[in-house]
Amino acid sequence: MIQIENKQRGPVQLVVKSKNRLRAMSVVNIPGIGSGNNFYYLEDELTTEFVERLEKIKWIKTKYIPDREFKKK
């Protein structure tokens, strides 16, 4: 799992791969810092280069979490 944290005050929109269809894309909205819900957990195989691009310009912060640690929470 990948934990994505929004570092902006406003919401950030991410383009990720869809769980239902093979080639389809889906959009995820992550609220801003003030909301307290600025974390999103994404499966490893659903990431795209768009997520990496937003991390390079420091809009989001990603952190890898092993699956067995995620299930304990």
How far is residue 73 from each of residues 52, 53, 59, 62, 68, measured CA to CA in Å? 26, 29, 26, 18, 9
Q: Tell me the pLDDT tens digit for each residue of 40-59.
A: 998 888 888 889 999 999 99
- Could you give the number of structural domains in the chain? 1
Amino acid at 10: G
Q: What domain range is 61 assigned to?
A: 2-72
Residue 37 confidence (pLDDT): 84
- Which residues fall within 8 angstroms of residue 25, CB to CB, at 6 or more apart? 15, 16, 17, 18, 48
What span, in angstroms and rounded, lies between the C-alpha atoms of 69 and 1? 10
Q: State the pTM of this model.
A: 0.80
Radius of gyration of the chain (CA): 12
Q: What percent of the chain has pLDDT over 90?
A: 34
pLDDT values of the chain reduced to their tens digit, one per residue, 73 residues: 899 999 999 999 999 988 888 888 989 999 988 878 889 998 888 888 889 999 999 999 999 988 777 765 5
Residue 73 confidence (pLDDT): 54
